[in-house]
A and B are shown apart, each in its own frame.
Chain A
C-alpha cells in the first residue's frame, strides 16, 4: 500500500535540520554571542509551520501515508501541528524575555524546545505504538531537562527530578500496556487495534488481554494529560520549572497527550461504522469518572493557591477534565469540541504565561499578592491577564467560553443520565473556577501595590509585546467569530473519524 513517501514529513525534516544547524552553530559560537539561537529556532519553526500550511492545502480532506503506513498526514494531524508550531513560537517569544535573566545555555534551551516541538509533530502523525512511544519519549525527555534548566535553583531541580521519577514510571506503564496490546492484536498498528476492538470479536479470547493493555496505556497517557489520579506532579513541576517551560508544558505537552489519547480512543471505536470497545458501558463510565474527578480536583485545588504558577498548575488539571468531557462524547462533535477547546486554550494560557514571565522578572516572585495594583502599572498586562483568566473561566465573548460551550453541547447531546450528571459537575466546576480566577482579577484592579509612591511602568520587550497582542486577538477572535475555527475543528474531527485503516 503505502511506500516511504518521505516528503509527507517535510515539516519534521525542517525541524530536524534546524536542530542540527543550531547544534552546529552553538558548538562553534563564542560564549558572548547571544540572540542568534532564538532566531534560528524561531525561523525553523516558522518554516515548518509554513510547510504545514502548504500541506493543509495539498491534503485537503484526504489522508496521506508515509513510512510504510506508520505515519499519516491528514486534516487532524495538520491542525495539531499548527497548534504545536504556534505554541512553540509563542514560547520562544517568552524565552526571549526570560533568557535575558539567564547568562548561559541559550543554545541548549532552544535546542530542547526544538526537540520537544519535533516530538509533538511526530505525535500528531504517528499511526503505530512504537512511533507513539518514541515520539512521546522525545517530548518527555526534553521536558525533563527543560524543567531542571535553572540548575542553581533548588525548586527547578526538584521539579526536574520529580518529573523524571514519575514520568519514567508512567512511561513504564505505557510500555507495559503496549506490550499487552501487541500480544492481543499481534501488531503495533493502531489500525490493528481498531480491528481487534470490534465488540463482536471481544467475545472470544483476546478481550481481557486487550482491555488490560488499554488500561495500562491509559495510565501512561493519563500522566501526560495530568488526569486524576496521575496528576500529583503537576503543581510542583509547574511551580519549579521556568515560566516559558511551564507554558510549553501546559499547552504543548498536554495537547500532545490528548492527541495520543484521541488516537487510542479513536482506535477503540472500532473500524469505521462498527461498534467498538470504547462504547462499552464500563469504558464510558471510566472516562466520565476520570473527567469529573479531574475537573473537580483541579478546580478545588486551585482555590487555595497563593502562587500564580501553582494556581495555573491546578487550573490546567481542571481544564484537562473539561477536555476529557469532550472525549467522553466519543463522536465528531466531541472531538471537534476538544480541538476547539485546545485552540482557544492555546491563546488563553500562553497569553497568561507571557504576563507571568514579565511579572516574574519584575517582582522576582510568583506570589499572587505581588500582582496588586497591576491595573494601574501596566494596563496591557492587566488586560491580557484578565481576558486570559476570564477566558479560562469560560466567560463570553472570549474563546474559552465557546470551547466550554462546545464541550457541554457534545456531552448533553448524549442524553443519558451519566452525561447529564457529568454536565452538571462540569457546571459546578465553572463556578468554582470563576471564584479563583476572579480573586486574581481582584488583586489586579481592586488592590493597590504595597509601596505608596507610584511605581514605574513595566517595560515589555517588543517580541513579547507582539505575542501579547497576538494572544489577546486570538482569544477574542475564537470567542466572537467562531465560524472559521469551528469549521477547521469539525473538518479535522471528521477526517479523523472517517478515515481509519485505509
Chain B
C-alpha cells in the first residue's frame, strides 16, 4: 500500500511526459486518477494500520546501493499514516482545483505530481538517504510552479517570492544533510532508520548535532525568525500550489524533526526543546499579530499558518504523548483547513482579481456555497469546537500545561508561560479570521461583484466538500485518527523516557 501511494503520482508524471500537450482533458483525467489511487491507498493504510502492532507497517524494501548501506525502504507508523492521508487528500483535491489552469497544462500537472511523489516519499521513507532525496525533490518543483503559474503578492513579484522560498528551504536542507551524514557515520554507516533508532548514540553527540538537524528543518516549519519566505510564497503561488505548500510541504519540517530529531537523537531533543517552546511563542503571537495587520486574504492565511505552526512546535516541545499527539493531529487538521482556505481564495480570486479584504464585500449573496465553506474554514481555523483544529489545539494546550520547559544552559524551567501565549493566540486568530469573514462575505455589498458565479457543478464543488467534510468528521470523531497517531507517538524513544520520568 505504501508503495502504491508513492508510485501512482510518479508513474502518472512519467506517462504525462509522453502525452501530447494539447490533450488537456486527458491530462487532467490521468492526474486525477493517479492521485485518486494514492488517496485510496492512503485510506487503505488508515484502515489497515494495526495500532497494537509493530512500529513500522506496510514495509517494502529493495536494495539500491549495497556498498553504501543504501536501500529503498518504505514503511509507515501512525504519524506517517496521518501525514499520508493528509497528502493524498490535498493532492487529490488540488488536482480538481487546478482545473482552472489553462497555460502549459501538461507541465503544471507533471510538476504537481512530482511534488506529490516527493512528499509521499518523505513521509513513507525509512531510509535517511531517500528521506533527504525526496525532501529536496519536493522543494524544487515548487520553484517552477510558483514562478510560472503564480501571481504577484502585494509588493513582491512572484519571481522574488519563489526564489526566496527555494533558497530558504534549500539552505535548511543542506544544513540538515551535513547533520544527517554525521548521524550516518555515528550510527555505523547505515541509512536504515530502523537500525539508527535502535542505535544509542552518545549523549554529547546527540546534543551537538540535534540543533543542526533541527535548524535545517526549522526553515520549512517555518519557525520564527526563519519564517519570512512562507507568507510571500503562499501568496504568490497558484491555488493548488498554495494548498500543497501550506497544507503539506510545511509539515515536512515538523515531520523531519519528529522522525529524525526525536527518533534518532532523543537526548538532543530533550536537551534543546525547552528553548523551542520559548521561540514558538513568538511564532504564535507574532504570526497572529502580523496576520491581524494584513489586508490581502492570502497573507492573512499565510501568517496565520506560521502562527499555527507555533502550536505544532509547542506540542513537540512538550515531549509528552498528549502534546506530540496533539501536534501531529494539528498538522493534519491545519493541512486540511489551510488547503480549503487557499482553494476558496483561489476560487473567488479568479473572478475578482483582488484578494484585498476591503475591496471585497457581501459576496455571500453571489456565492453561497463558497461563502459557507469559507465560514466553516474560518471557524475551524479559529479553533471552534466541532472541528479537528479544536481537538488538536486542546491536546497541545493540555500537554503543555502539564510540562515544564527547561532551558538548556541556564538552569531555568519555564512553566505555564507558553501555554498562556497559546491560549491568547486563539483569541488573536479569532479576531482576524472573523473580521475577514465579516468584511468579505457579509458587510455591505460591493456592486462590482454583482456578477460573481458560485461553484455549481459537482466537479467544482467536490474538492471543497471533501475538505470541509473531513474537517468536521475528524473534529466530531477524532477517535480513530488520534489513536493511530498516538500509537506512533508512544513508540518514540524520548517520549517513552519522558513519560516514565513523569510517572
Interface, chain A (partner B; CB < 8 A): 390, 395-397, 401, 405, 408-409, 412-413, 415, 420, 423-424, 427-428, 430-431, 434-435, 438-439, 441-442, 445-446, 482-483, 486-487, 490
Contact call B178/A412, Cβ cutoff below 8 A: yes
Interface string of B168-195 (1 = CB under 8 A from A): 0011001101100110110000000000
14 A-B contacts, Cβ less than 8 Å apart? Answer: A397-B137, A401-B133, A408-B177, A409-B68, A409-B184, A413-B181, A413-B185, A420-B178, A427-B171, A431-B167, A434-B166, A446-B147, A446-B148, A490-B67
State A430–B163 Cα separation when bound (angstroms): 14
Residues of A within 8 A of B137 (CB): 395-397
Q: Which of A405, A431, A486 contacts B170 (CB 8 A)?
A: A431
- A406 nearest in chain B by CB position: B68
Residues of B within 8 A of A428 (CB): 174
In the complex, whether B58 has a CB less than 8 A from a CB of chain A is no
For the complex formed, measure the closest distance between the CB of A444 and the CB atoms of chain B, giving whole angstroms: 10
Residues of A within 8 A of B466 (CB): none
Residues of B within 8 A of A490 (CB): 67
State A459–B177 Cα separation when bound (angstroms): 42
Contact call A438/B185, Cβ cutoff below 8 A: no
State A261–B132 Cα separation when bound (angstroms): 32
State A302–B95 Cα separation when bound (angstroms): 38
State A229–B170 Cα separation when bound (angstroms): 29
Contact call B147/A396, Cβ cutoff below 8 A: no
Contact call B143/A441, Cβ cutoff below 8 A: yes
In the complex, whether B25 has a CB less than 8 A from a CB of chain A is no
Contact call A396/B133, Cβ cutoff below 8 A: yes
For the complex formed, measure the closest distance between the CB of B108 and the CB atoms of chain A, giving whole angstroms: 11
Residues of A within 8 A of B181 (CB): 408-409, 412-413, 423
The 3 A-B pairs at the shortest CB distance, nearest first, are namely: A427-B174, A412-B181, A396-B133
State A397–B133 Cα separation when bound (angstroms): 7
Contact call A390/B159, Cβ cutoff below 8 A: no
For the complex formed, measure the closest distance between the CB of A400 and the CB atoms of chain B, giving whole angstroms: 12
Given contact pairs A420-B182, A442-B159, enumerate 8 new A-B contacts (beta carbons under 8 Å).
Answer: A396-B134, A396-B136, A405-B177, A427-B174, A435-B167, A438-B163, A439-B163, A445-B147
Q: Which of B134, B166, B178 contacts A438 (CB 8 A)?
A: B166
Contact call B178/A431, Cβ cutoff below 8 A: no
State A423–B64 Cα separation when bound (angstroms): 25
For the complex formed, measure the closest distance between the CB of A62 and the CB atoms of chain B, giving whole angstroms: 20
In the complex, whether B5 has a CB less than 8 A from a CB of chain A is no
State A412–B183 Cα separation when bound (angstroms): 10
Residues of B within 8 A of A442 (CB): 147, 159, 163
For the complex formed, measure the closest distance between the CB of A454 and the CB atoms of chain B, giving whole angstroms: 14
- B64 nearest in chain A by CB position: A483
Residues of A within 8 A of B167 (CB): 431, 434-435
Residues of A within 8 A of B140 (CB): 390, 395
Residues of B within 8 A of A434 (CB): 166-167, 170
Contact call B65/A486, Cβ cutoff below 8 A: yes
Contact call B174/A483, Cβ cutoff below 8 A: no
State A486–B129 Cα separation when bound (angstroms): 15
Give chain B interface residues in 39-85, CB to chain A under 8 Å.
64-65, 67-68
In the complex, whether B33 has a CB less than 8 A from a CB of chain A is no
**Given A431-B171, A434-B170, A435-B163 in contact, is the A487-B67 Cβ separation under 8 Å?**
yes
In the complex, whether B144 has a CB less than 8 A from a CB of chain A is yes
**Given A413-B185, A430-B170 in contact, is the A424-B178 Cβ separation under 8 Å?**
yes
- A411 nearest in chain B by CB position: B181
Contact call A438/B143, Cβ cutoff below 8 A: yes
State A486–B163 Cα separation when bound (angstroms): 33
State A430–B178 Cα separation when bound (angstroms): 12
Contact call B159/A446, Cβ cutoff below 8 A: yes
Give chain B interface residues in 139-171, CB to chain A under 8 Å.
140, 143-144, 147-148, 158-159, 163, 166-167, 170-171
Residues of A within 8 A of B171 (CB): 427, 431
Residues of A within 8 A of B132 (CB): 396
**Given A395-B136, A412-B181, A435-B167 in contact, is the A445-B148 Cβ separation under 8 Å?**
yes
State A424–B174 Cα separation when bound (angstroms): 8
State A490–B70 Cα separation when bound (angstroms): 15
For the complex formed, measure the closest distance between the CB of B61 and the CB atoms of chain A, giving whole angstroms: 15
- A431 nearest in chain B by CB position: B171
Residues of A within 8 A of B134 (CB): 396
Contact call A445/B170, Cβ cutoff below 8 A: no
Residues of B within 8 A of A409 (CB): 68, 181, 184
Contact call A482/B65, Cβ cutoff below 8 A: yes
For the complex formed, measure the closest distance between the CB of A325 and the CB atoms of chain B, giving whole angstroms: 12
For the complex formed, measure the closest distance between the CB of B229 and the CB atoms of chain A, giving whole angstroms: 13
Contact call B144/A415, Cβ cutoff below 8 A: no
For the complex formed, measure the closest distance between the CB of A411 and the CB atoms of chain B, giving whole angstroms: 8
State A396–B174 Cα separation when bound (angstroms): 12
Contact call A408/B159, Cβ cutoff below 8 A: no
State A408–B129 Cα separation when bound (angstroms): 13
For the complex formed, measure the closest distance between the CB of A427 and the CB atoms of chain B, giving whole angstroms: 4
Contact call A486/B67, Cβ cutoff below 8 A: yes
State A490–B129 Cα separation when bound (angstroms): 19
Contact call A431/B174, Cβ cutoff below 8 A: yes
Interface string of B209-252 (1 = CB under 8 A from A): 00000000000000000000000000000000000000000000
Residues of B within 8 A of A486 (CB): 65, 67-68
- A390 nearest in chain B by CB position: B140
For the complex formed, measure the closest distance between the CB of B12 and the CB atoms of chain A, giving whole angstroms: 16
Residues of A within 8 A of B133 (CB): 396-397, 401
| Listed residue (A401, A423, A438, A487) with the most chain B CB atoms within 10 angstroms of its CB | A438
Residues of B within 8 A of A435 (CB): 163, 167
State A38–B177 Cα separation when bound (angstroms): 45
For the complex formed, measure the closest distance between the CB of B192 and the CB atoms of chain A, giving whole angstroms: 16
Contact call B65/A483, Cβ cutoff below 8 A: yes
State A427–B173 Cα separation when bound (angstroms): 9
Contact call B144/A445, Cβ cutoff below 8 A: yes
Residues of A within 8 A of B158 (CB): 446
Interface string of B115-139 (1 = CB under 8 A from A): 0000000000000010011101100
Residues of B within 8 A of A401 (CB): 133, 136
Residues of A within 8 A of B159 (CB): 442, 446
Residues of B within 8 A of A408 (CB): 177-178, 181
Residues of A within 8 A of B148 (CB): 445-446
Q: Which of A415, A423, A439, A482 contacts B178 (CB 8 A)?
A: A423
Contact call B174/A430, Cβ cutoff below 8 A: yes
- B118 nearest in chain A by CB position: A396
For the complex formed, measure the closest distance between the CB of B461 and the CB atoms of chain A, giving whole angstroms: 33
State A415–B65 Cα separation when bound (angstroms): 23
Residues of B within 8 A of A413 (CB): 181, 185
| Listed residue (B133, B136, B174) with the most chain A CB atoms within 10 angstroms of its CB | B174
State A442–B146 Cα separation when bound (angstroms): 11
- A382 nearest in chain B by CB position: B107
State A439–B132 Cα separation when bound (angstroms): 24
Residues of A within 8 A of B166 (CB): 434, 438
State A430–B140 Cα separation when bound (angstroms): 13
Residues of B within 8 A of A430 (CB): 170, 174
State A390–B140 Cα separation when bound (angstroms): 9
State A427–B172 Cα separation when bound (angstroms): 10
Residues of B within 8 A of A482 (CB): 64-65
State A397–B132 Cα separation when bound (angstroms): 11
For the complex formed, measure the closest distance between the CB of B159 and the CB atoms of chain A, giving whole angstroms: 6
State A434–B167 Cα separation when bound (angstroms): 7
